[in-house]
Chain A
Amino acid sequence: MIRFEGVTKMYGSNVGLEDATIRIKKGDFVFLVGPSGAGKSTLIKLILKEIEPDEGSIFVNGQDITHLSNREIPALRRNIGMVFQDFRLLPHKTVYENVAFAMEVVQSTQRAMRRQIPLVLSIMGISDKADQFPAELSAGEQQRVAIARALINNPMMLIADEPTGNLDPDTAWEIMKLINQINRRGTTVLMVTHAKDIVDRMGKRVVAIDKGKIVRDAWGGEYGYDD
């Protein structure tokens, strides 16, 4: 699904990522942990082709994306659903419209939208919020909308950048159960997090990065930091 081979990314003289080699198979659930500025964001940006690596090769879905033209980037991103700590919903659109927005972008028909959106909203447990605006929702509900938006186009992979960072522990755990469910349906999940208790409790594969280097990659791993 995702393969990094000896990938290095420098920001001037600062190390973003150094000689990173990692394999994530289809259906995997991977936590990406490490202190702030360790290179977690760099890794995600490289997958999304927001930045170019200096050395090494990156493969997504068997395709070499190390050098991709601007024209080919949208197709890559349509295979990856993104979820952020700050939800990134459009405030002037309703829940339904926020999700529909992602379908408009890939030029789905209105019919397909009317069929699929209610389905995804019901999986996320927010069917009754369809006509509400993000500001009227709780943080947990907003994150559910964001996940619904990330999944609406059936991506092969879900990348979540600290999805529980703005949530209280109970709500965070609800969101984790949802993400786990999504993973069980076959979607690969890569989740950046600082939440020690979640990592420890889920018992999934943990990849730790420190100062741009992958320092640990273990199944059923623990968070392993005290920050």
Chain B
Amino acid sequence: MIRSLRYSLTQATVQVFRNKGMSLASIFSITAMLLILGLFFFISVNINIATEKAKQQFNTIEVYLLEETTRQDADVIAQSLLSMDEISGVVYVSKEDAMQAFKQRWGEKSYLLDGLADNPLPNALRVELADLEDGRLVYEACRNLIGVEDVRFYQEEVSKILTITDFIQKGALIVIVFLIIVSVIVVSNTVKLTVMARQREIMIMKYVGATNWFIRGPLLAEGMMIGCISAFIALGLTWLIYARIVNLFATQALLLFSSSFVEVGFMMKNLSWIFIALGASIGAFGSILSMRRFLNA
């Protein structure tokens, strides 16, 4: 067992180096495939987390009040809203509170807000929904109230984001499947070159009674070796790229999406298993594809 494993690995190493050109082409194509996969992986994981955060805003409706609406008027409106079954709570948010929260979110860069002559934010009521299903209804009711300037309901935004996310993820899946097929074909061609170069050897092997697995072993190892080399290269590259993106855009992402990037270490740990498993199986599958015809003869 160990002897045949060692035999397979030595033979595979020799072949990878002997077919340098094709091995490199295969490694290049699998690496490229994995890089793109990694990119989509990063994007979708980050988008998922951002949407999860966005969803938390689902169950609130922001009711912005007109400038002339007083605090007393606001309380009256709040009372009338609370009488609705669909509403579980109403909180008054003054423009000062709103500015405070805004500054907190901007953190270090909040000094930029100090430049504003007066507070442009409106006073508001934050309405909490008892049930998300009734969002539309409550939204319409709030709009018709006197003293209300505007109503913000995030469901629309969130559902838009969800549609886009869904689209990106489906698109990514199609691209990845396509790339996997291409990689398998490239690997199978590389291994086919080995098979053809060694046809004489394989024929003699069969005459002296080699089992099919004895012949397949080195070829399988060759494909898997190519796949694993690609996985390691791709891992290194994605690690560099992702760490750099996180470094460069961390603050921007926080401001834009009010969500931070997923931690580099966590991301790479998960990705490394995906890459190695995928690389090795693409390699193995490519080899099997190219051997089938030759060995059944």
Flag if A77 contacts B207 (CB, 8 Å). Answer: yes
Flag if A104 contacts B209 (CB, 8 Å). Answer: no
A14 interfacial contact with B, CB 8 Å? no
> In B117-163, which residues have CB < 8 Å from any A CB?
none
Complex partner residue of A88 from B204, B209, B211, CB under 8 angstroms: B204
Flag if B201 contacts A102 (CB, 8 Å). Answer: no
> In B39-56, which residues have CB < 8 Å from any A CB?
none
- How many residues belonging to B are interface residues under a CB distance threshold of 8 Å? 17
A101 interfacial contact with B, CB 8 Å? yes
| Docked complex Cα distance between A96 and B168 (Å) | 60
- The total of Cβ contacts below 8 Å across the A-B interface reads 48
Flag if A77 contacts B4 (CB, 8 Å). Answer: no
Would you give the shortest CB distance from B291 to chain A, in whole angstroms? 14
Among A105-113, A118-126, A172-180, A204-212, the one that faces the other chain is: A105-113
Would you give the shortest CB distance from A107 to chain B, in whole angstroms? 6
Flag if A74 contacts B209 (CB, 8 Å). Answer: yes
A144 interfacial contact with B, CB 8 Å? no
Given contacts A105-B205, A107-B3, A107-B4, contact A88 B200 (CB under 8 A): yes
Flag if B208 contacts A78 (CB, 8 Å). Answer: yes
B212 interfacial contact with A, CB 8 Å? yes
Flag if B208 contacts A77 (CB, 8 Å). Answer: yes
Q: Chain A contacts of B206 at CB under 8 A?
A: 74, 77
Flag if B3 contacts A109 (CB, 8 Å). Answer: yes
Would you give the shortest CB distance from A61 to chain B, in whole angstroms? 14
A149 interfacial contact with B, CB 8 Å? yes
Q: Which residue of B lies closest to A104 (CB)?
A: B7
Q: Which residue of A lies closest to B297 (CB)?
A: A50
Would you give the shortest CB distance from B204 to chain A, in whole angstroms? 6
Q: Chain A contacts of B4 at CB under 8 A?
A: 107
Would you give the shortest CB distance from B86 to chain A, in whole angstroms? 71
Flag if B201 contacts A105 (CB, 8 Å). Answer: no
B239 interfacial contact with A, CB 8 Å? no
| Docked complex Cα distance between A78 and B201 (Å) | 16
Interface residues of A (CB under 8 A from B): 48, 70-71, 74-79, 82, 88, 90, 101-102, 104-107, 109, 149-150, 153
- 30 A–B contact pairs at CB < 8 A? A48-B207, A70-B296, A71-B211, A74-B206, A74-B209, A74-B210, A74-B211, A74-B212, A76-B209, A77-B207, A77-B209, A78-B209, A79-B209, A82-B207, A88-B203, A88-B204, A101-B205, A104-B7, A105-B205, A105-B208, A105-B209, A106-B209, A106-B210, A107-B3, A107-B214, A109-B3, A149-B208, A150-B208, A153-B208, A153-B209
